[in-house]
Each structure stands twice: as C-alpha cells, then as structure tokens.
Structure 1
Amino acid sequence: MFQIGPHKLATPVALAPMAGVTDLPFRRLCLRYGAGIAVAEMIGSDPRLRNSRKTQLRSRHDAEIMPRAVQIVGNDPEAMAAAARYNVTLGAQIIDINMGCPAKKVCRKAAGSALLADEALVADILRAVVAAVEVPVTLKIRTGTRPEARNGVSIARIAEDAGIAALAVHGRTRACAFRGEAEYDTIARIAAAVAIPVWANGDIDSPQRAAEVLAHTGAAGVMIGRAAQGQPWLCGQIADFIQHGRLKPAPSIDEQLAVLAEHLGELHRFYGEVMGVRIARKHAGWYFEAAGLGCDARRRFNPLQTPADQLAVIQELFSQRSRPQRELAA
C-alpha cells in the first residue's frame, strides 16, 4: 500500500505531472482507469500569475477523484510557502514540489531540477512549504544535475528530514533531459536510504517494465509519464499487473474510440471550442500512435477547425481501423 499522510492510494501507480498534458480531463480518465493518484500540471509560485487563464485552468479540480494533488514550482522559500497555502485554499489535498523539470525556461529561473545544485536552498524550500500547510507535501526530483554529480541520495535525506511525505525520482539528471535511457541504480540507493515511500519514474512504458523497475529499485511504486499519453488505461494495466499478476490487454479499437471521443469532448468543454480544438490535436495524435493509425490520421485530423468535424473524423478513422477485426471475427 502506498500512503501519503492520511491518504491511502488504491494503487501504487501515479500519473506524473506533465505541463500541457495532465489537465483535468486527462487526470479524470487516468484515475478512472486505475491510477492511484494523478498530479496536476505545475503552477508557478509567482502570485502575479494567479489570475491568468492558464493558471486558473490548471487550478481546477471539480469532480476530480481524490486525493487532489497540485504541483508548485519556484525558487523562493517564502513564495513557495505562500503558493502552497493558496492552493490548499483552492482544494489541494497534497502539495507536490517540482525539483525535477529539466526545461530550459524553468531552469533559467533557477527552479525545477536546477535547484538540485543548491542543497541548502532545497532544504529551505522544503522546510518552508511543509511548515506552511497542514496537508502532506511530496517532492519530485531527478537523480542529480549531471551524471558525474548524482546527489539524489543526499537530496532524498534532506527531503525526509524536512518532513516530505513521499518522493518521486526520475532516473535521469538535469543535464540528460530526456535523452538516453533512465538509470535505476540511483533510485535503488535512494529507496534504501529513506523510510518515506518512493516512486520510480522514467522509461516505464509497460506492466512488465514496471515490475522489473520495482524489483530493481525496491521502490514502493512507479510514476508513469510520457507513456500514458494516448493511453489513459496504462496506469491501470500496470497496477493490475504489479498488484495481482494479471496482464490486462489494451482496450479494443472500438473501446479506444469511445475513450478518445469522450476525451476530446471533455477538452472542448473544458477549454472552449477554439482552444479545445487546438489542444485536442496533440492528444489525438498520441491516441493515433498508440492505436497504430499512423501519420495519415494525423494529417487528416490536424487541419480540422471545429469540435464536430474532429469527432466525425475520429469516428471514421477508428471505424476503418476496426473493420478488418470485425470481419475476421464474423
């Protein structure tokens, strides 16, 4: 069982926070299909951004399965503490701190994974946020700033001492970004060094891979990121395999159509027609890739300008893809 403060998660599989991906519609789907927790997109600690449309959309948690986890990012202890308090007033039940993002626009502000180079500041931020709120605080990190400076174990011990309730570790350094393969030896050392639960993260794209990573690292759970794009059922497949030894097949083409149609409809409603249509394109592309529909589907879909047209083409594309299966079954 993976527990964060008073919250006992149904499964030890978490959906990683991903900017521009893990919005409310996507989190709802992943949670419904078996993710134990889905962390919202990161929110900047600068209070001047609170009224922006982007921040307000990222702060929505209506009708979301609990516990509601919100990730904050920044480099000033007082501002991060204030951001944590503010998001708790909006309904956050868990505050997650981003010290793992390798994006240049985040690291240029000495935030995200750039913070791993300053252990004293890491400690100050963690202590300030933990003291500021009564809800559990979690932390997401990388194994260090660069391969020759993997200080993940030191950061993990600082986090435990500061009162962090759970830790997610991506098996790359800041310098690696998403290049090369994730390494899990550092995650294993971290899991052995602290008593708080650890999620292993990085390159986990199947139930079998998740089981291998858990066996190698001794982590309490896994966190799934990019592999869940276009496959909101993946977290549930992984959870079923590691908890019960059952390897559930992916949904049928017809089921994938129904999920995608539902997902796009929620995006259109959540963002409005203009923005919803634009955001639907990237999600649809991930579903196409997962379903083996190829680049032709994306070329047909991306020029469409209305929700009705998008949903109509989705129906047509998946009908064509599933027809041979139906004929074979007949």
Structure 2
Amino acid sequence: MRIADIDLGDKPLFLAPMEDVTDPSFRYVCKRFGADMVYTEFISSDGLIRDAAKSVAKLRTYDYERPVGIQLYGNEIEPMVEAARVAEAARPDLIDINFGCPVRKIAARGAGSGMMRDVPKMVEMTRRIVDAVRLPVTVKTRLGWDEDSKNIVEIAERLQDAGIAALTIHGRTRAQLYRGEADWTLIGEVKRNPRMHIPIIGNGDIDSAEKAAAAFERYGIDGIMIGRATYGRPWIFKEIRHFLKTGEQLKQPSVHERVELAKLHFAKSLEFKGDKVGVLEMRRHFSCYFKGLPDFKPTRLKLVTLNDPAEIVATLDYVAERWGDFDTSEIVPQPLSHDV
C-alpha cells in the first residue's frame, strides 16, 4: 500500500491519533512493536495559528518514527489552511484532517465529526488544504452524523475528488460515539466502489489479531488503524503481524517484560517532557500495563501518586519481583474509553 510516495508495504497497521495518549513516548514504543504509521495527537488549528504552547509542542516529531503524520482539526477553512502550512514546516510525512472526533465540545462547534453536517464545507476545506501544501493530505472520518445520514460512500468520492491521498473510516456514526459495535460493512462498500482509487483504511474495534485478519479478508481494506486496543498493549501490532504471517498467536508478554517496557516508556516520557510532566502523563499507562494482576490496587496507587522517578522505577522493580511468576495469559485486555 502506498500513500502518495510513502510505501507502507502489504497490509499496514496504523496507530490512531489519540488525544493525551499518542505523545512521542507512546509513539516510540508502538513503533518498536511494528506500527507502520503513527500520528501526533490531534492539534487545534486555532491553537496552532495563535502559537499556543501546547499546540506547538504537539508538532514535534522524530526521524525514528517516520512515516509520521500530523493531524489537525478545526471548524473554519482559513485557519485550517494556515495551520496546515505551519504543520508542513514541521516536516511530517503527511497531514491528516480530523473529521471524525465525536467529542461534544469539538463536534458541537462544527469541527471533527461535526463537519459531517456540512459536507460542502468539509470538501471545500479539504480541497483548500490540499492546494495549500505539497505534502500528501489524508482524512479520518466516520460513517455519517447519525443513523439516518450514513453518507460515507458519497463523502469518500467527494474527498477523493478534492485530492486526498488516503481515507481512514471509523465504523460508527458521530451519534454513536463509541457505543455498540463498529459497522464495517460501509467501509467495505467504500473500498469496493469502482470509482475509488485511493487507499482505504478501516478503524473501529480491532482488538485482536483474529479480528484484524478477518477485516482484511472480508472487507478488502488496504490498511487497519488501531486506537483504543493499543493503550497499555502496544505489542498488539507485533501480535497482528505475526498472526498475518503465520496464523499463530503470540504468547502474551510476561510481567517481567511488561515491567521493562513500562520502564522504557517511562524513560522516554521523562526524556521528551521532563520529570514533572513525564511522571504525570505516564500514570494512565502504568495503570493499564498491569491491569488484571491480582491484589494490585495498593501498588497501582503508588505508581499513580509517586512523583519521584527513582521511586517509581523502584516500584516497577517490585512489580517484577512480586508478580514475576503470574500467568499473563489470564489478563483480559481493557481498552481505552476513547480514541479520535
């Protein structure tokens, strides 16, 4: 599969952009486990053109994570065009437009999936951004606004005509948020549409190697984007790739292996964000890496309240010592409650 000149190989796996999750440290560990393409957290166009520190910081990418995309969202065309130019100057491999975020505060003002209520504006914004930058432009969106307006087949054609290089579709409407099961049938319909010639990437509820393999087989999509299932489980990319090649399941990482991964992730978080922010932003990951261990609550509370990096590392070492013999095949993955 190719996005413009970016060769992603056969059946590539994408890390979904997720607010407060896909920072450089998390992207680092996902790349280590085989994510073929990663994205920044989504960035507000308004914040970017106002030079807001938080938005500008999200532009930072690194050569080791290429190919990497910067994802933008906004509800007005001119600021989005300007933000795309700013993002291009940060030297990503592509720019992705978020037309999929269902969060009320985003969608209610017409950004994210809220743009699905004004398809002409969505298409015009996309066309203007494509014309404004030299990098490939891609889009992530949903099936439609609600059950009565699942218009993704039409939208896909119009976005392709506007010049996008690839399209990612989440298999829910905005009204569904993340409730119920993702419906991949319309994703497959977009892919089978003879008018479509750009890559189609499917997204929604892929939380196992078997589901990924079945999605490739059943719907013919070019790639799969994985969001919530990566949280606390970045090795899912390795699991899927192994299953696609061999038809066999990989053994789940041991507690010792999870501890070493958590320590690496933590070290990268401190490296990229400094001690204070690095500690705070790792707390959600610590909870998920070890979810399912018996009698873990007191240790979890330490990991999410300690502020001293050395004490946190010592606590992780204690986890390896205390639960080192636990059979991790008994742990049922608990996905994150949202992605964008």
Q: Determine the C-alpha separation between the residues in 2 that align with 1:19 and 1:157.
A: 28
Which residue identity is paired with 1:31? K
124-133 or 38-47: which moved more?
38-47
* Structure 1: 4+ residue segments shifted above 4 A: 47-50, 290-294
Give the equivalent residue in structure 1 for 2:242.
240
Partner AA of 1:284 in structure 2: F
Kept in 1, the 8 Å contact 2:16–2:225? The answer is yes
- The separation in 1 between residues aligned to 2:247 and 2:147, in whole angstroms, is 35
- 8 Å contact from structure 1 (residues 138, 166) kept in 2: yes
The amino acid that maps onto 1:93 is D
Question: What is the distance in 1 between the residues matched to 2:31 and 2:260?
Answer: 17
Gaps of 5+ in 1: 326-330
| Structure 2 residue aligned with 1:142 | 142
CA distance in 1, matches of 2:25, 2:97: 22
**Aligned partner of 1:168: which letter?**
T
Tell me, in whole angstroms, the C-alpha distance in 1 between the residues paired with 2:295 and 2:164.
43
Report the equivalent of 1:318: 320
- In the alignment, what sits opposite 1:168? 168
Q: SS of the residue aligned with 1:64? A: helix
Question: What is the aligned partner in structure 2 of residue 216 from structure 1?
Answer: 218
1:9 is matched with 8
**In structure 2, do the counterparts of structure 1 residues 306 and 58 end up closer, same or farther at CA, with 3 Å as the change threshold?**
same
Please report how far the alpha carbon of residue 319 of structure 1 lies from its aligned counterpart in structure 2 after TM superposition: 2.2
- What corresponds to 1:157 in structure 2? 157
Partner residue in 1 for 2:332: none
Quote how far apart the aligned CAs of 1:85 are.
1.2
TM-superposed CA distance for 1:165, in Å, is: 0.8
How far off is 1:288 after superposition?
A: 1.4
Distance 1:64 1:324 in 2: 34
Deviation at 1:290, TM superposition (A): 6.6
Taking structure 2 as the reference length, the TM-score comes to 0.90
Q: Output the amino acid matched with 1:318.
A: A
**Structure 1: how far apart are the matches of 2:23 and 2:15?**
11
Contact 1:75 1:125 in 2 (8 A): no
Opposite residue 203 of structure 1, the aligned amino acid is D
Letter aligned with residue 110 of structure 1: G
Query: Residue 172 of structure 1: CA displacement?
Result: 0.8
Q: Which residue of 2 aligns with 1:98?
A: 98
- SS across alignment from 1:264: helix
Deviation at 1:57, TM superposition (A): 2.4
CA shift in 2, pair 1:128/1:316, >3 Å = same
Question: For residues 124 and 296 of structure 2, what CA distance do their matches in structure 1 show?
Answer: 48
Contact 2:69 2:95 in 1 (8 A): yes
**Identity among equivalent pairs (%):** 36
Query: 1:108, CA displacement in angstroms?
Result: 2.2
1:253 to 234, 239, 255: 255
Tell me which amino acid in the other structure corresponds to 1:132: A
Structure-1 residue corresponding to 2:57 = 57
Residue of structure 2 in register with 1:197 after alignment:
199
Asked if the contact 2:99–2:113 (Cα under 8 Å) also holds between the matched residues in 1, the reply is yes
Change over 3 Å in CA distance of 1:37–1:64 after alignment to 2: same
Deviations 1:8-34 (A, max 9, x none): 014510000001000111111111211
Distance of 2:326 and 2:140 partners within structure 1: 44
Deviations 1:87-142, CA, capped at 9 Å, x for gaps: 11111220000000001121122100010111101110110111111111110001
Using the TM superposition, give the Cα deviation of residue 225 of structure 1 relative to its aligned residue in structure 2, in angstroms. 0.1
CA contact (8 A) 2:99 2:140 kept: yes
- After superposition, the Cα gap between the structure-2 partners of 1:147 and 1:248, relative to the gap in structure 1 and judged at 3 Å, is same
Contact 1:49 1:55 in 2 (8 A): no
Match in the other structure for 1:328: none
Please list every run of 5 or more consecutive structure 2 residues that lacks an aligned counterpart in the other structure. Answer: 328-340
Aligned-partner SS, 2:138: strand
How much has 1:272 moved relative to structure 2? 1.6
Instruction: Measure, in 2, the Cα distance between the counterparts of 1:293 and 1:109.
Output: 44
1:35 aligned onto 2:35: yes
**Count of aligned pairs between the two proteins:** 324
Relative to the length of structure 1, the TM-score reads: 0.93
Change (3 A) 1:5 1:228: same
Deviations 1:189-220 (A, max 9, x none): 11112221111111100110111222232211
3-state SS in 2 of match to 1:178: coil
Q: Give the superposed CA RMSD.
A: 1.8
The Cα shift of 1:245 comes to: 3.4
1:71, 1:164 → 2: CA distance? 14
C-alpha change, 1:292 and 1:118, in structure 2 (3 Å) is farther
Structure 1 residue aligned with 2:68: 68
Using a 3 Å threshold, how does the CA distance of structure 1 residues 291 and 259 change in structure 2: closer, same or farther?
farther
